[in-house]
Amino acid sequence: MRGQGWQIQRTQANISDSLLIKGGRVIDPANNIDQIADVLIVDGKIAAVADEVNFSAHFNYNAEGKIVTPGLIDMHVHFREPGQEAKEDFGSGSRAAVAGGYTTVATMPNTSPVIDNAALVRSMMARAEVEDLINIKIIGALTKGQRGEELAELRDMIAEGVVAFSDDGHFDSNAKIFMNALDYLNGTDKVVICHEEETSLVEGGIMNEGKRSAILGMKGRPTVAEDIAVARDALLAEYTGGRVHIAHISSARSVEIVRDAKKRGVKITAEVTPQHLTMTEDLVNPADSSTKINPPLRTQKDCDALLAGLKDGTIDAIVTDHSPHAPEEKDREYMYAPSGIPGLETALGVLMTDLVLPGKIDLPTLISKMTCEPAKIFGLDAGTLSVGAWADITVINPDLEWTVDADKFYTRGSHSPFVGRTLKGRAVATIVHGNLMRLL
């Protein structure tokens, strides 16, 4: 049974009650807070953050030895609705998010049908309200059917509440149409999330192109395919004054391109995944499709550049690109298996184990990349513990050691390259609008 051994349950607390989180290390990068403090929640919102809060709350949570942060935000997930519910749905995806410490996610539109019109956005917003475990945001397709031939109903979808646009999973090769989209969206606060791979250079490729792919006899996807696409979109953003956001950046050269563009004042931001930060092509095993992702795992040089870009602000956010597939789809030969892995339940543990504990990045920087910085990019009312903000909070036990077990996942995807690893650090409570979800 999925999730066995850990249970998500909503406490009897609701937004009309009060909750006092006592004595945790509060890290709130949006307000430059990193101290031992109490956090008081009243009526679903932050009422106080102070050294000591004297308040007779309905519920008390002892956070001594734990870390209290704004709720984690993931602006790149695939919850697969509508039409692909065998892989994931809003219910299973939401439970996976809670287990991973995420309170807000944005789901991509490459579904069946594609989310490319106002009616589908309304339908997905209604589904999100029904699930009601976390805040689910909707990303709309940039072009109709994600075919790159004609702009989708952008303004109508904005009116229905989309937070961004993307043809994720597809590179928009028609530069004129892409430029028209940036022009059209000027004057709005919406950003275009770009999947960057020049299609003609990656067709048929299943891993990073290089020495490792040659040894394994597997067709590669070269980093230059990403670099060319990132450079083009940076130039189009500069020319139009539009906003672009580079999805799952993976190459060292692309990091340089984004860094240089930012120095010129281009409205460009970027995200990176835990897998691209911590894993390399050396882990690719033709007998194990769990390492097949898109873009593919790169070299150690690329990993190092991604980490440097994360630390110096070139890369703004960490996302999971949570992309579960049905077991029977992924359990095939590497060549034929689809790209993508589940990531919501493992991301925090992987990042704390592989980056924070070895001292490669400090915890406040990590938390900022998973809270306030993505909130700023996408204009979300989230990512902060400011008084008056919605009480979306993650409580982390940094000392908790646990082993990744696919049988205990809430997601429907089971093929994770992190299965079997012992990690240190995990979300032990997730609070959404003042409602406390416990992991027992």
329 contacts 337 by C-beta, under 8 angstroms: yes
| Per-residue pLDDT tens digits for 357-378 | 999 999 999 999 999 999 999 9
If phi over 0 gives left and psi between -120 and 50 gives alpha, with beta otherwise, what is residue 321?
left
Higher pLDDT, 67 or 4: 67
| Per-residue pLDDT tens digits for 127-182 | 999 988 999 999 999 999 999 999 999 999 999 999 999 999 999 999 999 999 99
Nearest to 240 by CA among 177, 164, 167: 177
So what's the pLDDT on residue 17? 84
Nearest to 418 by CA among 317, 249, 311, 273: 273
Residue by residue, DSSP assigns 135-146 as EEEEEEPSBGGG
So what's the pLDDT on residue 232? 98
Q: How many CB atoms neighbour CB 76 within 10 A? A: 27
Report DSSP state, residue 390.
B
So what's the pLDDT on residue 7? 57
Distance CA(433)–CA(421), nearest Å, equals 32
Q: What is the mean pLDDT of the chain?
A: 95
Pairing state between β 268-272 and 317-318:
parallel
Residues 6+ apart with CB under 8 A from 254: 196, 223, 226, 227, 230, 246
So what's the pLDDT on residue 13? 46
386 contacts 315 by C-beta, under 8 angstroms: no
So what's the pLDDT on residue 16? 53
Q: How many CB atoms neighbour CB 422 within 10 A? A: 10
Distance CA(409)–CA(399), nearest Å, equals 21
| Per-residue pLDDT tens digits for 418-440 | 999 999 999 999 999 999 986 54
So what's the pLDDT on residue 3? 55
303 contacts 282 by C-beta, under 8 angstroms: no
- Residue positions annotated with a catalytic role: 321
| Per-residue pLDDT tens digits for 108-121 | 999 999 999 999 99
In this model, does residue 11 exceed pLDDT 70? no
Question: Where does residue 12 rank: exposed (0-12), middle (13-18), buried (19+ CB within 10 A)?
Answer: exposed
Q: Which string of b and e fits 180-206 if b means at least 16 CB within 10 Å?
A: ebbebbeeeebbbbbbbbbeebbeebb
Per-residue pLDDT band at 12 (split at 50, 70, 90): very low
So what's the pLDDT on residue 1? 40
Residues 6+ apart with CB under 8 A from 405: 5, 419
**Sign of the CA dihedral 93, 95, 96, 101?**
positive
So what's the pLDDT on residue 131? 86
Distance CA(270)–CA(348), nearest Å, equals 19
Element containing residue 123 per DSSP (H, E): helix 118-131
Strands (E), 237-288: 244-246, 268-272
So what's the pLDDT on residue 119? 98
Could you report how far apart the first and last alpha carbons of the chain are, in Å? 16
